[in-house]
Amino acid sequence: MDKIDKCPQCGCSEIGKGKMSGYASLTPKGKVFASSAIVAEVCTDCGFILRLKVEKPHIFRQK
């Protein structure tokens, strides 16, 4: 995946990172006790969310 250098909405080049908390996690289909936090890259000027991804992508692999 390409690195995001600036916001496509406002052109700001300061991109921050944050983690969704509380119940904001993703659970693989068919796995009850596995989940991963969701991390976001956010424009620090307008708040536009540029990218979402999980912290633990390996738990989504099929066996």
- Quick: pLDDT tens for 31-63: 878 888 899 999 999 999 999 999 999 988 887
Question: Are the C-beta atoms of residues 58 and 26 closer than 8 Å to each other?
Answer: no
Domain assignment present for 3: no
In a domain, 41, yes or no: yes
pLDDT digits (tens, 9 = 90+) for 1-37: 677 889 999 999 999 999 987 777 888 888 878 888 8
Neighbour-count burial of 30, counting CB atoms closer than 10 A to its CB (0-12 exposed, 13-18 middle, 19+ buried): exposed
pTM of the complete model:
0.75
Does 26 fall in a domain? yes
User: Residue 6: inside a domain, yes or no?
Assistant: no
The boundaries of the domain holding residue 53 are: 15-60
Q: What is the total count of domains within the chain?
A: 1
Considering the domain boundaries, does residue 50 fall inside one?
A: yes
Quick check: is 1 in a domain?
no
Question: Is residue 36 domain-resident?
Answer: yes
Count helices and strands in the chain by DSSP H and E runs: 0, 4
